[in-house]
Structure 1
Amino acid sequence: MEPDPITEAALRSLHDIATPEPVSWMPQTWGWGVLAGALLVMLALTGIRWILRYRANAYRREALALLNVIDGQLRNPATRRDGIRELGEVLKRTALAAWPRTEVASLSATAWVRFLEQHDVDGAAHALERLVDDFEYHGAEVVADLPSNVCGDLVVAARDWIERHHVPA
């Protein structure tokens, strides 16, 4: 059976469905371009600021790594005296890294405790006062007999001070 001529003419005149062009991802107005540029600049500035802060706090990371070693020394009565001495040394080195040498190097005893308290945020310097005033200058037998909780408190206070001391800009 042959299709009728009208149907054949209608079928020949049919065209494929026309699909529209895909929508462009490019912004249609200049405002979107400005917004995208501003976002890129803000991301770059945030990244640069993070890198600068990371580098500026390298001394803190180094001091905290040394503090982990000292914590092990303080747990052992045989090495406790060395640990106490090194704990004071790490605190002083941390302060020397953050403040000018002329401001920190000559500090000792009460002046050193006052410095630790002035730059302390959480009050950790009160526990460190005992380290500076008492333990650093006692004989090995007095320090070796210290209870481990006192040494643990010193490490916690030192860690808090190292992590949270405030350095003016």
Structure 2
Amino acid sequence: MSTLNKDSLLPLNPMHLPELPSWFPIAWGWWASAGATLLSILAIWLIYRWNKKRLAPKKTALRLIQAGEKPAEAFELLRQAALCYYPREEVAKLTGKEWYAFLDTQVKAPLFLDNYDVWQVALYSKEPLGNASELVSHCSQWVNEALPPKRRRTKVG
């Protein structure tokens, strides 16, 4: 039997392992993913802000129309809301039946031209009307349906 002699072993240094790979610098794929994520967040934020700004006149008009009780005030707010969304050159010059026809072309069911005489009494009479709440609801219905314009409808005037 052979016995190992302590002197016969070679003196070896302990094993040195390489360092663990670090996270930095990050590979280009991670940079691309981070950039795409940031661009997506920025795009979503910009669209949200644009949409909020675009719908602000509509929301304000609806809030004020529903808070009021007089058809004349609701009708004036409706005109102001329409001027926010439609070209001023086309809408500002409309009066009388042309204005009512424009309003009716922007919604599915006509609300104003069929009630022309009722609206004239409501706008120019000092006495309160019994159907004032119905006329105010017509204004808020128009603002809900017609604003913002989905597409260009028939040109009036």
TM-score bracket, shorter-length normalisation: 0.5 to 0.7
Q: Which has the larger radius of gyration?
A: 2
* 1:69-88 pair list within 5 angstroms: 69-70=67-68, 73=69, 83-88=70-75
Q: Structure 1, residues 89-117: CA drift from partner, whole Å, max 9, x if none? A: 11111111112222111212332123223
> How far off its partner does 1:135 sit?
2.5
- Greater percentage in helix: 1
Q: Aligned Cα RMSD in Å?
A: 3.0
Q: 2:78, 2:139 within 8 Å by CA — same for their partners in 1?
A: yes
Structure with the bigger RCO (C-alpha within 8 Å, sep 6+) is: 2
What is the aligned counterpart of 1:50 among 48, 51, 63?
48
- Equivalent residue number for residue 85 of structure 2: 98
Change beyond 3 A, Cα 1:157–1:29: farther
Unaligned segments of structure 2, at least 5 residues: 1-19, 153-157
Unaligned segments of structure 1, at least 5 residues: 1-20, 74-82
Change beyond 3 A, Cα 1:130–1:57: same
> TM-score, with normalisation over the residues of structure 2?
0.65
Secondary structure of the structure 1 residue equivalent to 2:111: helix
> TM-score, with normalisation over the residues of structure 1?
0.61
Structure 1 segments (4+ residues) deviating >3 Å: 26-29, 128-131, 154-157
1:114 paired with 2:122, answer: no
Q: 2:112, 2:119 within 8 Å by CA — same for their partners in 1?
A: no
- % identical aligned pairs: 25
> How far off its partner does 1:37 sit?
0.8
